[in-house]
Structure 1
Amino acid sequence: MADNPEEKEVNPLMEAIQSILDTKDDAEWAQKVEAALKDLPEAQKMLREGRQERVKDWKAEGKSWAEIGRILGVSRQRAQAIADGLSGSVRRKRGEKTDGKSTN
């Protein structure tokens, strides 16, 4: 985060989206917006998987769940859930696959 509250934090993803929205040509604007919306689910998946792998790496390096949580800005419990591949929007019981069947 920025140290100065008046200093706006730069988010490259949001800047890219704003760049698309600022496109003046209607046909080009529509093409870019449709392509971005089409790619959004895959982008989310890539980010979640990348985050999960990084969290696993940090844990393997010896960081505690509390340390990892501080890095991510979440609780230690949430950090552990991320390592386990649990999404914040999908709550599964341990040992349950996404199709609802038990792995036990």
Structure 2
Amino acid sequence: MAEERKEVPEEVTKLREALAAFAAMDDDVACTAAISEVLRQWPDFGSELRQLREQRVNSLRQQHGMTWPEIAAVIGEVTPERAQQISKGLSGARRKKDKRAAEEQPGE
């Protein structure tokens, strides 16, 4: 059975091209400085991407009436439960922190 290939969004291709552009830079000083600037801003980029994904996941649910399994399939490689957590803005670190806090509280 042939493996089904997903189409790669243009934006992902552009990001890969940007990374290749760094690698292709001849000037080690300029390349190091440019990559360092991106890495300094990376936490902000990650946060913005997570917020945008959360908004779009909520739109898929509310505006398009998609189920959590359908949304999980769109996201790829996540469970429906994880898709629902994404819709609430829960990151992996946040889920672990919330779980630890719940475990530390005495039984209710």
**TM-score range normalised by the length of the shorter chain:** 0.7 to 0.9
The RMSD of aligned alpha carbons is 2.5
Distance 1:26 1:53, change over 3 A: same
1:20 maps to a residue whose letter is: F
RCO higher in 1 or 2 (8 Å CA, sep ≥ 6)? 2
CA contact (8 A) 1:21 1:33 kept: no
Identity of aligned residues (%): 31
Normalising by the residue count of structure 1, what TM-score does the alignment of the two structures yield? 0.74
The equivalent position to 2:60 in structure 1, one of 58, 61, 72, is 58
User: What are the residue-to-residue correspondences of 1:20-99 with 2, within 5 Å?
Assistant: 20-61=22-63, 62-73=65-76, 74-91=78-95, 92-93=97-98
**2:106 match:** none
**1:99 match:** none
Normalising by the residue count of structure 2, what TM-score does the alignment of the two structures yield? 0.72
Paired residue total:
91
Structure 2: gaps (5+ residues): 102-108
DSSP-derived class of the 1:90 partner: helix
Structure 1: gaps (5+ residues): 97-104
Deviation of 1:76 after TM superposition, in Å, equals 0.6
Q: Which runs of at least 4 in structure 1 moved beyond 3 Å after TM superposition?
A: none
Q: Which moved more, 1:81-90 or 1:47-56?
A: 81-90
Identify the structure with the greater helix proportion.
2
Q: Does 1:3 align with 2:5?
A: yes
